[in-house]
Homo-oligomer: A and B are copies of this chain.
């Protein structure tokens, strides 16, 4: 688990000042498991912090990515999505429900990396791999009514 002190340390380490906004934004990002956009985060925090501006949320999230406190998530819409979980993991794109959920699987990651290592791709230095699993959510109640 990431603690407040961890975040503060990370920020300091990256020569970033510790500000209220950054802590609030990071906290919100950690809580959101849905790979939020800047706007989503903004909506979440503005109840308790009305003074935080949308522009700052954008700038802050970009900074977090720069400093490895967050990652950008791939998406097919034209929105920038973020993820506080920087550990290696995969994403399941549920097409019917439009959700993007995490799928952790160390073993699978290793299998893929080992396979690619054997292949020796030329002129490319692999940094990490991420699996995109496209699927449909099976809703038990729903599946009855759909033929």
Cβ–Cβ contact B73 & A76, under 8 A: yes
Check: A144 CB closer than 8 A to any chain B CB.
Answer: no
Question: Which residues of B are found within 8 Å of A115, using beta-carbon distances?
Answer: 108, 111
Cβ–Cβ contact B72 & A74, under 8 A: no
A123-147 near B? 1/0 per residue, CB < 8 Å? 1111111111111111110000000
Question: Which residues of B are found within 8 Å of A136, using beta-carbon distances?
Answer: 124-125, 127
Residues of A at under 8 Å CB distance from B?
72-80, 92, 94-95, 103, 105, 108, 111-112, 115-116, 119, 121, 123-140
A-B contact pairs, 8 of them (CB 8 A): A72-B76, A74-B74, A75-B75, A76-B80, A92-B124, A111-B111, A111-B112, A126-B134
